[in-house]
A and B are shown apart, each in its own frame.
Chain A
Amino acid sequence: NAGVMQNPRHLVRRRGQEARLRCSPMKGHSHVYWYRQLPEEGLKFMVYLQKENIIDESGMPKERFSAEFPKEGPSILRIQQVVRGDSAAYFCASSPRRQGTNTEAFFGQGTRLTVV
């Protein structure tokens, strides 16, 4: 059973371009969480999705950021018109049930986005 897979591992974008980050959860996991980690900081929650539904997007900026988790395929975090402040590591985690309900959330290796 492969772990949570994120790609790409590293992504470089020029200001104004779009960034697409992909997350394939572990097999059997239908809950996906995206976190952002700025250099030397903790993980900040962005969005929580279940298949085809956004459950909680309270941590995601209202503009330029969007996320989806379609019925088939990986979850995608999309950042439009990137700015230098978007440079960070973006981690995805998945779990078979909601976090904390006797279940562990497993993290992917992250995507390190650099905006130049």
Chain B
Amino acid sequence: GENVEQHPSTLSVQEGDSAVIKCTYSDSASNYFPWYKQELGKRPQLIIDIRSNVGEKKDQRIAVTLNKTAKHFSLHITETQPEDSAVYFCAVLSGSARQLTFGSGTQLTVLP
């Protein structure tokens, strides 16, 4: 089955700096890569996603890049704010799977 690894597990940045979270996957047939944000005690919420026919996607301060050859994708958050503090999960939908496989999460803390 699909194997998704996410790094780092914790990340602290100063307000205004950028944050980068990386994920690698194993199934070269994977074709959908969403990122979820989960605040403490709340539900995971989709913040951005990318499909295999695109290399980069941006939405205001967040962007995702995909390298299909290397089988990794990254979340980039610029101009971080304290409200960006949360756990971020990457996920992968492989070609044959019917459900998402999630990474283990990154606890992002933005220091004021």
Number of interface residues of A (CB under 8 A): 24
Does A45 lie within 8 Å of B44, measured CB to CB? no
Does B98 lie within 8 Å of A55, measured CB to CB? yes
Does B98 lie within 8 Å of A42, measured CB to CB? no
Give the interface of B toward A (CB within 8 A).
6, 31-32, 34, 36, 42-46, 49, 89, 91, 93, 98-105
In the assembled complex, how far is the CB of residue A75 from the closest CB belonging to chain B, in whole angstroms?
14
Does A43 lie within 8 Å of B89, measured CB to CB? yes
The winner among A43, A98, A105, A106 for most chain B CB atoms within 10 A is A43
Chain A interface secondary structure, helix, strand, loop or mixed?
Answer: loop
In the assembled complex, how far is the CB of residue B75 from the closest CB belonging to chain A, in whole angstroms?
15
Give the interface of A toward B (CB within 8 A).
4, 33, 35, 40-45, 48, 55-56, 59, 91, 98-100, 104-110
- Decide yes or no: A33 and B99 within 8 Å by CB, A42-B89, A42-B104, A43-B89 being known contacts: yes
